[in-house]
Amino acid sequence: MSTSSEDRTSAVYERVLGDLPERIHLCDIDYRDELNNDQVQQLITGSDYPEGLDEYIDERRIDGAHFEIDKLLGPEEVELLQDADLWDALRFEIMDRDTSDPFTDLMRNTPDKMVRYDLGIDVDTGWGSTPEEYGETADLIAGTVGLPDQRETIIEVLEEAGDGGRAFIIWNADVSDLYEATCSTETCTISWKDPTLLVLNRICGSGMDGTLNGTVTLPFDRSNLAVDERGAGTGYSWTDDVAGIARDAYRTDCKITINERRQET
């Protein structure tokens, strides 16, 4: 490259840098773009960062940077910078000034999800179980949730869940608050007012639920969380596959306490 070409290239590059605003919003996430069920599952359990999410966000930021360059440079100037290996430098400079937050936008666009919280109790009762066996399992669940006066309600759920399964609390959850709790290094608790108890056999595709009257408070353990929607995990979901529920009926006053700070979901 001749000296005159170098001078011109340098002048173009310096001019563009001078014209760049200090802050640039590169990514506008479409209101229809949201996290899918499997991505939400990975995020709220901390099991893995969703595959392809970073690539999606990077592509949007790169597209935004290219758009900004096209506004500032003509085709000949673009070629000049490319020949001088300055075009990528300009793109990186623009991306460093990006103020957009596509991950937060995607999370905001993602609607509430039906979520199960595992109570850690296998339900072995079935159609042929005795009243004593139902009572023993009900006592175990009532003790775990701290509502001994709900024993009869729990027995009714067990009797209708003929194939047994696993005991959960299920509710319509704000996934952004669950994600914040998952990311926290502080000790957390989670509580629900009048929550729904679910006994679900995810292999057979059977189960039953019922409302517990009272407040349930448990230590928050992200490994106990599971999105109960088709496309998240394996096995049958209560929400889509078994019951076909009305989600609004599962809204509850759920609170997550993080380091003395209350998060309503």
Whether residues 98 and 127 fall in one domain: no
Q: Tell me the two tokens of residue 36.
A: 């899918």
Whether residues 43 and 75 fall in one domain: yes
In the chain, the number of structural domains is 2
Residue 118 is part of which domain span? Answer: 113-264
Whether residues 79 and 186 fall in one domain: no
Local confidence pLDDT in tens for the 265 residues of the chain = 555 667 788 888 888 888 888 899 998 888 899 999 989 998 988 866 787 888 888 998 999 999 988 888 888 888 888 888 888 888 898 999 999 999 999 999 999 999 999 999 999 998 889 999 999 999 999 999 999 999 999 999 999 998 999 999 999 999 988 888 888 777 889 999 999 999 999 999 999 999 999 999 999 999 999 999 987 777 899 999 999 899 999 999 999 987 655 455 5
- Domain end point (choices 86, 109, 132): 109
Whether residues 82 and 14 fall in one domain: yes
Taking the CA atoms of the chain, what radius of gyration do you get in angstroms?
27
Whether residues 159 and 217 fall in one domain: yes
Q: Which residues of 35-64 are buried (b: 16+ CB within 10 A; e: fewer)?
A: bebebbbbbbbeeeeeeebeeebeebbeeb
Q: How far is CA 226 from CA 9, 47, 164, 216, in A?
A: 55, 11, 19, 18
Whether residues 95 and 144 fall in one domain: no
Tell me whether residue 216 is exposed, middle or buried, using C-beta atoms within 10 angstroms of its C-beta: 0 to 12, 13 to 18, 19 or more: buried
Q: In angstroms, how far is CA 4 from the centroid of its own chain?
A: 55
Q: Tell me the two tokens of residue 181.
A: 């709790």
Closest CA to 44 of 167, 190, 166: 190
Whether residues 132 and 238 fall in one domain: yes
Whether residues 91 and 123 fall in one domain: no
Q: How far is the C-alpha of 57 from the C-alpha of 49, rounded, in Å?
A: 13
- Domain end point (choices 83, 109, 135): 109
Q: How far is the C-alpha of 123 from the C-alpha of 141, rounded, in Å?
A: 9
Whether residues 98 and 130 fall in one domain: no
| Cβ atoms within 10 Å of 24's Cβ, excluding its own | 17
| Cβ atoms within 10 Å of 142's Cβ, excluding its own | 20
The values of phi and psi at residue 5, to 5°, are -65, -40
Q: Tell me the two tokens of residue 41.
A: 């599952």
Whether residues 99 and 176 fall in one domain: no
pTM of the complete model beyond 0.85: no
Q: How far is CA 253 from CA 62, 167, 184, 193, 222, in A?
A: 41, 20, 21, 5, 19
